[in-house]
């Protein structure tokens, strides 16, 4: 593993266990009754097992693997959303996670109000958001809909707003889960161009995608997760070629 001076992220022997009820219950009442009587049986599910890799400052790291391999779980642990059962994560910079777009939004508020709400969650001050408000609005292409409650937004409109808020500055670390595959074709091209700008500007990026062509184009190294552990980590071409086999 690299030392803290060269690595902005270090994932060391991270394992994540979820306890799942083994009983089939058909209602909350039945579950509560069984829990009170201590009749609920659990089984352990390990979403990650001894995952280790490092990310150097300014790198773009791709994460690949089939559904259920643990990609989203490791991103949530790195973001601080989940605490690992075992192991540790070192973070050497501020993180902007774009994992579940719109998850921090209040659907009764307008798009404009959610810019300030979601921006505050990401650590931006009100003064900063006010200074960049027009940039966010212009990039999102929401126009007059910015003053409409977002419960009336389509999923594409929500995605554009969330992406615009998250990338209004050059974050130190950006965590992206399949965001470039969401939205209409024009906004995909626009968000792709913005991502390339951030990478050229030195932002460290962790990027999950099932699109190997995008991984090859955008990433410096690749982590391949399989069966909840690291199958391979290293050169983009080597890992992607092995993954295709």
CATH number of domain containing 73: 3.40.50.300
Report the distance separating Cα 190 and Cα 18, nearest Å: 38
pLDDT of residue 48: 97
Query: Is position 148 within any domain?
Result: yes
Report the distance separating Cα 206 and Cα 62, nearest Å: 6
Q: Looking at the structure, tell me whether residues 117 and 7 fall in a common domain.
A: no
pLDDT of residue 101: 63
pLDDT digits (tens, 9 = 90+) for 88-140: 999 998 888 877 666 679 999 999 999 999 888 877 889 999 999 999 999 99
β-bridge pairing 95-98 and 229-235: unpaired
pLDDT of residue 3: 46
pLDDT confidence of 231, banded at 50, 70, 90?
A: very high
Domain count, the chain: 2
Going from the C-alpha of 34 to that of each of 44, 45, 145, 183, 234, the distances in angstroms are 18, 21, 48, 44, 48
pLDDT of residue 4: 45
- Alpha helical stretches, state H, the chain: 28-36, 71-79, 111-121, 126-140, 155-166, 185-200, 212-218, 236-244
pTM: 0.77
pLDDT of residue 38: 67
DSSP state for residue 38 in the 8-state scheme: T
pLDDT confidence of 82, banded at 50, 70, 90?
A: very high
Query: Is position 197 within any domain?
Result: yes
Q: Looking at the structure, tell me whether residues 66 and 151 fall in a common domain.
A: no
Q: Which domain holds residue 58?
A: 1-20+43-94+171-245
pLDDT confidence of 2, banded at 50, 70, 90?
A: very low
Report the distance separating Cα 122 and Cα 62, nearest Å: 23
CB atoms within 10 A of CB 94: 11
pLDDT of residue 31: 57
Report the distance separating Cα 58 and Cα 202, nearest Å: 5
pLDDT of residue 167: 83
The candidate with the shortest Cα–Cα distance to 61, out of 236, 240, 222, is 222
Better pLDDT: 184 or 138: 138
Query: Is position 37 within any domain?
Result: no
Query: Is position 244 within any domain?
Result: yes
Q: Looking at the structure, tell me whether residues 129 and 184 fall in a common domain.
A: no
pLDDT digits (tens, 9 = 90+) for 159-183: 889 888 888 877 889 888 876 665 6
Report the distance separating Cα 94 and Cα 21, nearest Å: 36
Query: Is position 27 within any domain?
Result: no
Q: Looking at the structure, tell me whether residues 161 and 147 fall in a common domain.
A: yes
**Edge-to-edge strands of the sheet including 7-21?**
42-56, 7-21, 86-91
């Amino acid at each position: 593993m690299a030392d803290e001076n060269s690595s902005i992220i270090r994932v060391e022997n991270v394992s994540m266990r979820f306890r799942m009820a083994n009983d089939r219950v058909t209602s909350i009442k039945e579950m509560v009754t069984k829990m009170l009587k201590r009749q609920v049986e659990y089984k352990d599910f390990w979403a990650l097992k001894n995952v280790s890799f490092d990310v150097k400052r300014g790198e773009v790291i791709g994460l690949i693997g089939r559904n259920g391999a643990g990609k989203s779980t490791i991103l949530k642990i790195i973001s601080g959303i989940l605490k690992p059962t075992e192991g540790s994560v070192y973070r050497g910079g501020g993180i902007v996670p774009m994992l579940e777009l719109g998850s921090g939004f209040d659907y009764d508020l307008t798009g404009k109000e959610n810019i300030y709400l979601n921006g505050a969650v990401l650590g931006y001050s009100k003064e900063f958001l006010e200074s960049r408000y027009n940039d966010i609005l212009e990039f999102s292409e929401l126009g007059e809909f910015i003053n409409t409650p977002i419960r009336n937004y389509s999923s594409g409109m929500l995605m554009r707003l969330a992406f615009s808020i998250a990338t209004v500055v050059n974050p130190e670390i950006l965590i992206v889960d399949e965001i470039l595959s969401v939205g209409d074709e024009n906004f995909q091209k626009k968000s792709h161009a913005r991502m390339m700008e951030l990478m050229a500007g030195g932002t460290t990026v962790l990027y999950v995608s099932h699109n190997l062509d995008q991984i090859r184009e955008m990433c410096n190294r690749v982590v391949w997760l399989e069966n909840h552990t690291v199958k391979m980590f290293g050169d983009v071409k080597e890992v992607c070629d092995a993954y295709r086999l």
